[in-house]
Amino acid sequence: MRTYLVTGGAGFIGSNYIHYMFEKYGDTIRIINVDKLTYAGNLENLRSIEDRENYTFVKADICDTDVINEIFEENDIDRVVHFAAESHVDRSIKNPEVFVKTNVLGTLVMLNAAKAAWELEGGTFKEDKKFLHVSTDEVYGSLENEGEYFYETTPYNPHSPYSASKASADMLVKAYMDTYKFPANITNCSNNYGPYQFPEKLIPLIINNALQGKKLPVYGDGKNVRDWLYVEDHAKGIDMVQEKGKLFETYNIGGHNEKRNIEIIYIILDTLQEMLPDTDSRKKLISRDLITYVEDRKGHDRRYAIAPGKIKEEVGWEPDTMFTEGIKLTIKWFFEHEDWMRNVTSGEYKKYYEDMYK
């Protein structure tokens, strides 16, 4: 039975990945999920699988060398899928230190622990051991001209403390592959959306605010472009890269779906109107009048867009979910999980929101 060590599995993409993997592989794999449970990690995301015999949760910081080494010593880990990170650009602008600690130093701890467990005498590695480092397209910087795309060969040019920390982590993974022939892959994915996304990110924030008749903050002119991917498609892409991709390669994972932020907001408002029954009192709160242009994000990247050729040709992956369908699935999920939204938006997040949008 193959054993996976997933880091950050209580977060947005990590929890979707764990659900996807159990649905796909059932009892034929084992997953150990290591998560520190920061504000972004939530065990409610995993409630429906937490009693499985082939699932273990370990509350730990990936920067804790002893604990991470111990997990490798006590378990014969076959696959590492490394999601754990601080992931929000706005928070990185306010407080970069924790981004460097978790994203850079934490990745180094994971690399060293896997290397120590997997390396044989003579510097080769045990067979069929693989490390997948989950990264972002933001490491490539910002596209300013129509018709330009991010390729796997595009030079790194990160702008925010978040993307700089992810770029640094990617460079460490590349260095381990080049120096030690450490068996790894890197995936650089575009913006995700879907169930369990924390409402500090654009799409869940807009859904949550619109349903409460609260203002919808748009940074700058609202014309920044992101390439949105439904999270389950990302989970599938990660698994396909790990099993079908060439070792040591980087694969970009893109949404095939570039949209301006303001277009995203219009689509969400229209879809909410369409999906809410006439009897629901929230329906009359939802309107474009809620849109409020606010001060732009510092160093706001203009456009991200991924050239999707390599992963399609070498791995056979393409997204399955069109945005019009994915946004409906996402809104339906939020309708059905109002308690989840209430829980994550109370307490610490409330303070962050008031400070951020004051």
Q: How far is the CB of 295 from ligand TYD (least distance, A)?
A: 11
Give whichever of 32 and 216 is closer to ligand TYD, judged by the CB atom: 216
Give whichever of 41 and 183 is closer to ligand TYD, judged by the CB atom: 41
Which member of 55, 99, 198, 323 binds ligand NAD (CB under 6 A)? 198
For residues 315-344, which are near ligand NAD according to CB under 6 A? none
Q: How far is the CB of 248 from ligand NAD (least distance, A)?
A: 20
Instruction: Work out whether 84 is an interface residue with ligand NAD (CB under 6 A).
Output: yes
Give whichever of 102 and 209 is closer to ligand NAD, judged by the CB atom: 102
Instruction: Work out whether 149 is an interface residue with ligand NAD (CB under 6 A).
Output: no
For residues 35-74, which are near ligand NAD according to CB under 6 A? 35-38, 40-41, 61-63
Residues recognised as catalytic: 137-138, 162
Q: How far is the CB of 134 from ligand TYD (least distance, A)?
A: 14
Give the binding site for ligand TYD (CB under 6 A).
89, 191, 201-202, 205, 217-219, 224, 226, 261, 297
Give whichever of 131 and 304 is closer to ligand TYD, judged by the CB atom: 304
- The Cα–Cα gap between 33 and 37 comes to 11
